[in-house]
Amino acid sequence: MTSEYRCPFDDLLILDFEATCEKDNYDFPPEIVQFSVCVLNTREKIIREDLSFNKFVRPIINPKLTDFCAELTGIDQDSIDKADTFPEVFNQFSAWLEEHNFQAKRYAFVCDSRQDMWRFAQYQFLLNKQPLPTIFRQWVNLGRYYEEDLRKAQVQDTWGPSFIEKMSGFYNIQFEGHAHNAMDECAFLAKVTKRVLDNGNLVTINESLKCIAGPRNVPFNIDPEWKTSFVSSCKVFEAMLPLVSTRTKRYFPDDFYGKCLYCFLPECTGVEHKQYPEYVYEQLKEPSVFAITAGLMRE
């Protein structure tokens, strides 16, 4: 264990979103219904038990949760009905960051995978017809650290399908609470992040969003059953969404923060698609609700 954490940020904000969903249908337009963050201070090497952000969010497109979503997340309809909409909750979060003096470039978000930023946050702001905020353009993908630790340990992954189950088994850290409750998952992921830091690993930005990526120039054959397959749907969404998530091997906050690491242009906001996937839409057997709802398809 090192005397100081190997991390260029003063604070790591562990973030998790929960979103609307429908069983066996990945073409469902996800709207964020829970927005949670807890804090790991890297200078004091502590998880801030006294400081967190946790809000339910009222969806607009599908205001009534499906039975599947309610059971999966443990969120009841009454809590959703009383909640503010996403723009209001995001403004509350921005005020929370300012209230607690979180300085841009001095903190980084930590997520268990790319899904929270690349899919949920990007899609939510497309629904709102707003550019993706600078703070959501880069993050620490904790799943990458788990995969590397697994490789170093030379053991097989046998702990379960989700990253939460995998990391719980590998790091021997018990998950407490309700699976797919954003705040409970944040609390768990904070413990895993601290373990990774305690083990002497450098924890920094390892994924970011950019407008153009080489693989998106190569057309592929759409799986006819993509709507019911998580893996196949993600491949489709990689082409549909304006910004693509990419691994970031070297990250310098002063130079890279909030910028598209392809074009570095301030007008690259994620609202316009610079690699429009016409071949994807031509192959679909029926229109994509995911794409149509967010205005991703051209008229």
Please indicate, yes or no, if residue 196 is contained in any of the structural domains. yes
CA–CA separation, 170 vs 150, rounded Å?
A: 8
pLDDT, tens digit, for every residue of 79-96?
Answer: 999 999 999 999 999 999
Residue 169, in any domain of the structure: yes
281 in a structural domain:
no
Query: What is the domain range of residue 121?
Result: 11-209+245-261
Q: Quick check: is 61 in a domain?
A: yes
Query: What pLDDT digit, counting tens, does each position of 168-224 carry?
Result: 999 999 999 999 999 999 999 999 999 999 999 999 999 999 999 988 888 999 999
232 is a domain residue: no
Sign for the CA dihedral angle at 19, 20, 26, 28 comes to negative
Residue 279: inside a domain:
no
Predicted TM-score (pTM) of this structure: 0.95
Report how many domains make up the chain.
1
Buried b (16+ CB within 10 A) or exposed e, 30-63: bbbbbbbbbbbbbeeeebeeeebbebbbbbeebe
Residue 280 placed within a domain: no
pLDDT of residue 162: 86
Asked if residues 54 and 70 have their Cβ atoms less than 8 Å apart, the reply is no
Residue 70 has pLDDT above 80, yes or no: yes
Which CATH number belongs to the domain containing residue 141 in this structure?
Answer: 3.30.420.10
